[in-house]
Structure 1
Amino acid sequence: MTLHERPTRPATPTDLIEQLRGSVRDGLPAAIADLSTLVRIPSVSWDGFDPAHVQASADEVARLVRELGVFDEVLVDRVEIPGSGGLGQPAVLARREPRAGRPTVLLYAHHDVQPPGRDEDWETPPFEPTAIGDRLYGRGSADDKAGVIAHVAAIRALVESVGDPELGIVIFIEGEEEFGSRSFGALLEKHRDLLAADVIVVADSDNWDVRTPSLTVGLRGNAAFTLTVSTLGHASHSGMFGGAAPDAMLATIRLLSTLHDADGSVAVDGLRSHDQEVPDFPDERLREEAALLDGVTPIGRGPVLHRLWAQPAITVTGIDAPSVQNASNTLLPSVSVKISARVAPGQSAAEAFDAVRAHLEAHAPFGAQLTFGAVDLGDPFLVDTTAWAVDEALTSMREAWGADPVMVGVGGSIPFIAELKESFPDAHVLVTGVEDPDTRAHSPNESLHLGVLHRAILTEAVLLARLAGAVELPARE
């Protein structure tokens, strides 16, 4: 069944829609101000960055949630990362119990951000929110502090419009999503009762464009790891031994080149694709959105969106080697690289990692020794599109945006969604977002389209109102 063939759910009452629309519109300046406050906090969750900033970000999020005045409990918590002995980054959790038989909805986002990278690559300071035209620039302005604010502002609008919504609401704002959600499972285990819900809304994805909403129904998984290639017991003079002794850089380059075919498709036996239909997406749009340089051609085979949503991909995201400035005439004994393999839906991340590892071990040139470390696995996820909550979300998007939503896959990974579904198997998962094709999440000059933020807040407010009883819902499974 396609989107346009889906049964139409009853419309939200017109007067309620108008009340919500007015509340969201009037509250937008406050929402942008709250977002700007969060963006100014450099809450990078990676090792090597000051964790006090992540704590400050969590405290600010907790303040915003408490000020809503609707929760029975609001807390900031850190738990031990399994197997490490260390604590994860602080998360914000809150809950209010449902009344009158209403369902409970869990609203997820994350308040941590990616490192900013080099300041000179930014056109505006990365942690100083800057409005230019209809966009707000800054690290985390979209990914995912805008998701946090979408939840807060939607609840504000809901309460202003209907008073006590009787709806059960759970808030889960994570503090280390950008660093692998290492304590996520432990948080779920500790707070299982607090987090239990009928519907889970994950505001951490994107939209088809700034005028067309998307509901994400498929996500690739990820198998990331470090690989060290070693050929020599110590560095040697390249003039004395070059041409006879294989250096690690040569071995690494040769080895990495085996991961792809001549057209850039992944060439690893055991990595599978997912069979699915995808919308048309011309090469010209890929060229524009991915910023391909003149003369650079796309890679891979098949429709563009099938390559991005349903096929595996392998990227070398980092390499430890002397810089050009510090290079000497030396044969390197070892080279380390970071590899990120995106896993198509339908295959586990563990199986994919085993396939990539087996390939690398089988193709190591010159007898090079390989060492694998820092393995980070996250499974792909497919949303059950037959769930009644999916129809509620699509109807809410249509009413808020005035446009038909598109159900999409996403090439990126949100591994914790599989963990959420495992912990709450009866819950319906909805993956929404406030990003758009020009957001540049994780990159310099990340930005948020303020019109998209407006419509995302209204979508969630409408969805919450519908779940709170604005329309009759089907029987819960």
Structure 2
Amino acid sequence: MAVLSLDEVRARADKDFTRVMDVLSKKIALKSVSAEGITGEHMRRSAEFVAQELRKVGVETRVVQSSNPDGTAGAYEVVGSKIVDADAPTVLLYAHHDVQPVPDPSAWDTEPFAATEVDGRLYGRGSCDDGGGIAIHSGALAILGSDLNVNVKVFIEGEEEMGSPSFIPFIEAHRDEFDSDVIIVADSGNWSPDIPSLTTSLRGNTSVDVTLRVLRHPVHSGQYGGPVLDANTLGAMLVASMYDEHGELVIPGLEAGEPIGGLQRDLDEASLREDASVVDSYEFAGIGSLASRIWSKPSVTVIGWDAQPVDTSFNVIADATRIRLSLRTAPGQRPDEAQRALSDFLLAHAPLGAEVHVTPLDGGMGWAMNPDVEATKDAIEAMRQAFGVDPINKGEGGSIPFIPELQRLFPKAQVLVTGPEDPKSNAHSPNESISLAILRNGIVAEALLLDKLGQ
């Protein structure tokens, strides 16, 4: 039986909400862009601010600077704990305090680093990703206060947006501060502002650089064009060979599956088109449910191509080109296996005998939730109570490689992936925002969940 009723939790959340909004607004103003230097003074200030705010809700925190694998200085991390009973379960709360850059402020309708409330949403860089996660943790701990019946550990990372290069060395050096029974990662999304979600899976990721050469040096397009195709055209042919007429990948060895735990509701095509700003004439690629195509099937994206810019182009046949391919993998496939399958396919399908070389790059494992553990059931019930509707579990097409690494290092821990985002949050994009309904109900849900985990 819960220590606190839903009404009491909600009343405490309402009373504390002004403070939570103030914390999130101040966090947005800190401009904690890790791409501008994870060791910079702005990142230290951000970490110190988060540590101070968590102390106000009872967590003993400190800021620790991590070290990269090569021994150089790493990110400023916030670690801490609140131990209530040595025999009680221990829950690790994760979020990150670094944010994405704002390359073009003119693309925003509001000032990117000034929290601005418009129509029930709070706009600003980091408002949802992942200031919202920090705010949810702070709000839930404030609600429970002396009624907290689980031990809590916190880890607020400072380099998530940079790929977390020092994450694993830091954990391995601070194992005691991460060892827990349940891990709550508040860095994902919800079905809508009104319907919560527990993230069921994350795709893995890997990438390769492909160099294609057709000539030893560039030649005149009028003198040799026809029998000799330029490297960019051949590169396009190579990329196109990965797909069938439906836009479905045809690379042997790439795994594909259905959504983890079954498909409760498919993604709405009209909403997906609007959220992704798809042009009216485009038809979605692939076959099967939209959910499976984004959550549990592989995809390949050209994220870089070395080619002559149009404004400085001239009549020459390009001798070589380089293409960077990003491969999102099914949640259960090892990234090295998927990378090998992609590389083998590209080498075997060199168009017209052009020279093709593939350079493997980094990769990260995907992750799938265990739907049968008690913590998962508690989380679903807490969301149902807080939002007043049944949650719709959903996968994510993106990757958070440290989650499977956490699971590997702490195999007994039950991992739950929650978050403050929704389809209109625009994380990583202009006009990033958080739904205030999600923020408020997310705080209530996490407080209820922590209470349930302590029973």
Q: Which TM bucket (shorter chain)?
A: over 0.9
Question: Are 1:226 and 2:209 an aligned pair?
Answer: yes
- Which of 393, 398, 412 lines up with 2:384 in the alignment? 398
Looking at structure 2, the residues matched to 40 and 370 of structure 1 have their Cα atoms a distance apart, in angstroms, of 48
- Report the equivalent of 1:258: 241
Matching of residue 22 in structure 1 with residue 5 in structure 2: no
Q: Does 1:124 align with 2:113?
A: no
Query: 1:75 maps to what in 2?
Result: 63
1:92 is aligned with what amino acid? V
Does the CA contact (< 8 Å) of 2:38 and 2:159 recur in 1? no
Relative to structure 1, is the Cα distance of residues 414 and 370 closer, same or farther in structure 2, using a 3 angstrom cutoff? same
State whether residues 24 and 153 of structure 1, in contact with CA within 8 Å, keep that contact through their aligned partners in structure 2: yes
CA 1:344–1:59 in 2, change beyond 3 Å: closer, same or farther? same
Q: Does 1:187 align with 2:176?
A: no
Deviates more, 1:27-36 or 1:360-369: 360-369
Q: Which residue of 2 aligns with 1:389?
A: 375
CA contact (8 A) 1:224 1:341 kept: yes
Deviation at 1:234, TM superposition (A): 4.3
Q: Hey, what does 1:3 align to over in structure 2?
A: none
Give the SS at the match of 1:307.
helix
Distance 1:235-1:48 versus aligned 2 partners, 3 A rule: farther
2:248·2:287 contact (CA, 8 Å) conserved in 1?
A: yes
Cα contact 1:43–1:51 (8 A) shared by 2: no
Match of 2:49, as an amino acid? Answer: E
Unaligned runs of 5+ in 2: none
Within 1, Cα distance between the matches of 2:308 and 2:19?
48
CA distance in structure 2 between the aligned counterparts of 1:273 and 1:178, rounded to whole angstroms: 27
Bigger Cα displacement from structure 2, 124-133 vs 187-196? 124-133
CA offsets, 1:18-50, max 9 Å, x none?
332122112222212211222223333337788
Structure 2 residue aligned with 1:55: 44
Q: How does the TM-score come out when normalised to structure 1?
A: 0.88
Residue 355 of structure 1, CA deviation: 0.7
* Match runs of 1:75-94 below 5 Å: 75-80=63-68, 82=69, 84-94=70-80
- When the two structures are superposed, what TM-score results if normalisation uses the length of structure 2? 0.92
Distance in 1 (CA, whole Å) between partners of 2:220 and 2:66 is: 50
Partner Cα separation in structure 2 for residue 229 and residue 54 of structure 1: 41
The letter for the 1-side match of 2:64 is: V
**What is the total number of aligned residue pairs between the two structures?**
452
1:166 to partner: Cα distance: 4.5
1:36 aligns with 2:25: yes
The answer for the alignment partner of 1:310 in structure 2 is 296
Query: Within 5 Å, which residues of 2 pair with 1:167-182?
Result: 167-182=150-165
Gaps of 5+ in 1: 1-9, 473-477
Is 2:356 the partner of 1:357? no
**One-letter code of the match for 1:43?**
S
Quote the offset at 1:235 in angstroms.
4.3
Question: In the aligned structure 2, how far is the partner of 1:175 from the partner of 1:284?
Answer: 36
Q: Could you tell me which of 271, 284, 302 is aligned with 2:254?
A: 271
SS in 1 for 2:186: strand
**1:106 match:** 92
Q: 2 CA distance for matches of 1:226 and 1:148?
A: 36
2:417 is aligned to 431
Conservation of the 8 A alpha-carbon contact between 1:272 and 1:347: yes
- Quote the sequence identity (%): 40
Is 2:195–2:391's contact at 8 Å kept on the other side of the alignment? yes
Aligned mates of 1:191, 1:447 — CA distance in 2: 33
Q: Which amino acid aligns with 1:141?
A: S
Deviation at 1:212, TM superposition (A): 0.9
Summarize the Cα distance change of 1:423–1:403 in structure 2 as closer, same or farther, 3 Å threshold: same
C-alpha change, 1:85 and 1:264, in structure 2 (3 Å) is farther
Which stretch of structure 1 is more off in the superposition, 445-454 or 361-370? Answer: 361-370
Q: CA separation in 2, counterparts of 1:164 and 1:347?
A: 42
